[in-house]
Each structure stands twice: as C-alpha cells, then as structure tokens.
Amino acid sequence: MNERPYTVMPLRFRRFRDKVLITSESGDYQFLSPTDFHDFLDEKLDSELPVFLDLKSKDFLAEGEQDIARAIDMTATRYRSKKNFLNLFTSLHMLVVTLRCNQKCEYCQVSCEGEDAFKTDMTPETVRKIVDFVFMSPSPDIKIEFQGGEPLLNWGAVVAAVEYAEEKNAAAGKHLSFVLCTNLTAMDEDKLRFLNAHKVHVSTSLDGPSAIHDANRVFRLGGGTHATFLDRLALTRKELASDEVAALMTTTMASVDSLRDVIDEYVRLGFSGVFFRALNPYGFAHDNAAKLSYSMETFVENYKKGLDYIIELNLRGTRFIEHYTALILTRILTPFSTGFVDLQSPSGAGISGVIYDYNGDVYPADEARMLSRMGDGSFVMGNVFSDSYKDIFKGKVLTDIVRKSCLEIMPVCADCAYLPYCGADPVRNYLETKDIMGNRPASPFCDKHMRIFDHLFDLLDKGDRDVMDVFWSWITRRSLEEVRRENH
C-alpha cells in the first residue's frame, strides 16, 4: 500500500473571484487557483511547486507523522496567541457615572436623561463598591472608563473613582489606566488639571464638519454643538498631550455618503485616525431609525471609498489611520489577539469588558445596558450590592454568552473562512432574533463583516506594494518611510 504523499491539515475555504481563499485554525491564509486547490485536497499537488512550499510553511499540509505532530504543535501555539484575550479576564471596566446629559443626540443609544435627573447619578457609596469589584478581576491590566450620559455632569464620581482606584492599586500593583468618554462641551480648566495629574485619557465624539456634526449632536436646550466642541477641544489640548485625546464618530444618513468630508475634518483638527462606526439600533437610534439608518451594503461601499481616500492621504505624506481596518488587519496578518470586544470568539462581552450602571447593575456590554433602557433586562448579570463577584461573573448570563458565542460551534460561522478573524455579537443577535446565537444569514453584523473581509482580502490578494506598506505602517505603528526602507 502506497504511503500518502502528505496530509491536508484542517482548513476552511471561500470562493474568491477566480481563486479559492483557504484559512487555517490559527489564521494563516493562502490564495489558490481552482486547479491547485483541487490537486491539494486530492493530495496530488506537486511538491516541487512554490505553492506547495507556501502551504507547507503555513502548516496547511504536513509530510509524515513527525511533521503532522510539529504542525499541530505550531497551530496550537498560534491558536493560543489568538485566544490570549481569555487570559486577561476582565480588563475593561466601564462606569456609567450618570445618565444626565447636556446634549440630546439623534442617535443616543442609551436614551440619556435631562440635566436635572440627579437620581441617575452614581453615588459615592456605589463608586467605592464598584471599584472594589474592579480590583477582584484577575487581570494584571485594568482600564477604568467613565461613561454617561455626560460624565462631566457628575464630576465628583469621576474624581472619587480615580482616587480610590489609585489607592487600591498601591497594594494591587496592576497596570491601571483611565479613559473619560465625554462630549467635551462641559470641560473646564480645573477638570483638565485633574485629568492631566492622574493621566486620564480623553475619548470624545466628532461626527464630522459642522453641517454633519450639528445634524446629529445638539444641545438639550437647542442648537448645534460643533462650535463649542472646537473651543473645548482646543482647551483640552492645551492641558493634555495630543495622543491622550481621541475621537469617535457614528455614521448616520447625514454622513454615510460624506465620509471623505469626515476624514478631512479629522485631519484638519489634528486627529491621527478615524474609526468608521456603523449605527447601533438602540435607544434614540432605534426610535429614529427611519431618519438615521441605511443598509449595510451602503455602509460598506462608503467605507471602501473612505478607506481608499485614507490610503491616498498616507501615500501623499499625511499619516492617518482607519482604526477598524487596522484592527482587522492585525488579526489577519499577525499572530496576536486584539482587545476589541466585537471581534472575539467567544464574545468579549463580560470576558474582556464589563459595564456598571449608575445604580450598581452589571452588564456584559454597553449594548446590554442600552437594551435594558429599552425595557428588556435579560442581560443584567447582577448588582454589586446584592450579588458577589462570583455570582455575577460565573452566573447564567455570562455563562450563556460564552457557551453560545464560540464561532467554532455556531452554524454557518463554524464553516466560514473568516472565522479566525471574526467575532460574535450576542446582544445584537438577541435584539434581532430573541436568541443570543442569532441567525447569521440574516444578520447585519455578519453582512457588514463579510463585505469588509471580502474587500480587505481582495486588497491583500492584489498585493499593491504601496497599499501593503500603508497597512503595515498601521499594524506596526511605524512611519510609512520606515516600512518602505525595510521592505524595499
């Protein structure tokens, strides 16, 4: 009996124009011609061909028992690296210090309250109780993020949390960091001096130039916020280092066809990049869906145009990153995991990040809190006053999420070539189907990511040297010139 020439290792595949894309459990990939693909699967691929050596180097095939054992060990090592986020349980802790806000944005996902709704302020007692819970996490890295509403309206809670966390960390010795999510319009010099002294990073919201920003983000008493935002941004940058102030945008119908204008505004204001974030259907965004929403096809087509423009800017000498693309490319082109909750399997909800509401209720994700504000408390993990850390983090809510958000066992996802790079959104699935596993063929989440992955793999297959240099500069956080010197 003839010995098999080689063994085909586990893989997934996707027809890709006139080629076949194959991916491994650890995330390596290879494009094959249909002929090479069928010869490879039939164990007839000529070992002298360059494609054979490529497949062997990426452990898509192995020759002999010893080589199979080696390939399995290598795949296991890479797989562990991809799943390393599980070792950092739980590192991101978000505190909703108030639901009050001085703005009433069209797409507010938590249906914020008026400035006089003091009953939604987190109390000093709740702050300390939550911080005690935060430091029960086994993760060596702890990031505390302040959210709202507008957290500046309950400034005392922010100060108390920072100071108490620093006090706790003097004994715990963790790597502790802070982020304040704010619309900036209530910022002043005293607050900035505190943020600077305690190394608190600032994340703010900018939807684009004034016409776009003011269409979405308005003061509760009326009027656009863009001019005030610019004034407070300048004030903030006087006190904090520029890399400590980042901005996020939310794409609505007001901006989806104008992403180039959004990019230009970010560049004009000195931001280092943008994150093209699609609209989430919660809170006011759900209520105003007819006015604000769009199809995922529309979003991704405009995302692609925006990405092309950003690549062009980089090639013309302006370093600027599309952060969502950089996250995905890191997952495709490196063996490392990313901390982005949406692209993890099992879902990072509750594992990588958790959110504490103003009253001490605990949720696995901000979207779960938003869902509760809409009247469905299915994802309440517990409360810091009435439940223990173990009850909350080993309870039914989080256990169900972990069990039902592993792509490897989810129908459709389990066979998808993009599984190594993707994740699950159990809360969104539940919102749409009342089932946290959801229905992938009809899922906007799946639709969006399939289209984005298709586009990025198309660019990777084409292998344009300039485009690849830009991508590698983003992934390795180096200048384009450095990458070019190394590669050419």
**Confidence band of 241 (pLDDT split at 50, 70, 90):** confident
pLDDT > 90 in the chain, percent: 87
Rounded to whole angstroms, the Cα distance separating 142 from 463 reads 38
Three-state secondary-structure class, residue 9 = coil
Is the pLDDT reported for residue 242 higher than 80?
Answer: no
Three-state secondary-structure class, residue 200 = strand
Of the options 3.20.20.70, 3.40.50.300, 3.90.1150.10, 3.90.180.10, the CATH number for the domain spanning 88-393: 3.20.20.70
Residues contacting 359, CB < 8 A, separation 6+:
122, 126, 383
* Domain boundaries along the sequence of the chain: 7-82, 88-393
Averaged over 125-137, what is the pLDDT? Answer: 98
Least confident piece of the model among 76-85, 142-151, 255-264, 292-301: 76-85
What pLDDT is attached to residue 443?
A: 92
Is the pLDDT reported for residue 107 higher than 90?
Answer: no
Give how far Cα 161 sits from Cα of 82, 135, 198, Å.
33, 12, 11
- pTM of the complete model: 0.94
**Confidence band of 229 (pLDDT split at 50, 70, 90):** very high
Residues contacting 351, CB < 8 A, separation 6+:
85, 86, 89, 90, 344, 398, 402
How do beta strands 353-356 and 361-363 pair? antiparallel
Give how far Cα 455 sits from Cα of 177, 304, 325, 328, Å.
35, 8, 11, 12
Least confident piece of the model among 258-272, 328-342, 407-421: 328-342
What pLDDT is attached to residue 174?
A: 97
Averaged over 352-379, what is the pLDDT? Answer: 94
Is the pLDDT reported for residue 488 higher than 50?
Answer: yes
pLDDT > 70 in the chain, percent: 99
Averaged over 221-237, what is the pLDDT? Answer: 96
What pLDDT is attached to residue 284?
A: 77
Give how far Cα 127 sits from Cα of 20, 98, 121, 157, 436, Å.
53, 11, 10, 7, 31
Is the pLDDT reported for residue 2 higher than 60?
Answer: no
Residue 127 corresponds to which tokens in the numbers above? 């702050």
What pLDDT is attached to residue 244?
A: 84
Q: Quick one: CA torsion of 89, 180, 155, 101, rounded to 10 degrees?
A: -110
Q: What would the pLDDT profile of 152-162 be if each residue is shown by its tens digit?
A: 999 999 999 99
**Confidence band of 286 (pLDDT split at 50, 70, 90):** confident
Is the pLDDT reported for residue 189 higher than 70?
Answer: yes
**Confidence band of 1 (pLDDT split at 50, 70, 90):** very low
**Confidence band of 369 (pLDDT split at 50, 70, 90):** very high
Backbone dihedral angles phi then psi of residue 126, each to the nearest 5 degrees: -65, -40
**Confidence band of 441 (pLDDT split at 50, 70, 90):** confident
Q: Quick one: CA torsion of 47, 50, 52, 55, rounded to 10 degrees?
A: 160
Q: What would the pLDDT profile of 7-51 be if each residue is shown by its tens digit?
A: 999 999 999 889 999 999 999 999 999 999 999 999 999 999 999
Backbone dihedral angles phi then psi of residue 154, each to the nearest 5 degrees: -125, 60
Averaged over 203-224, what is the pLDDT? Answer: 96
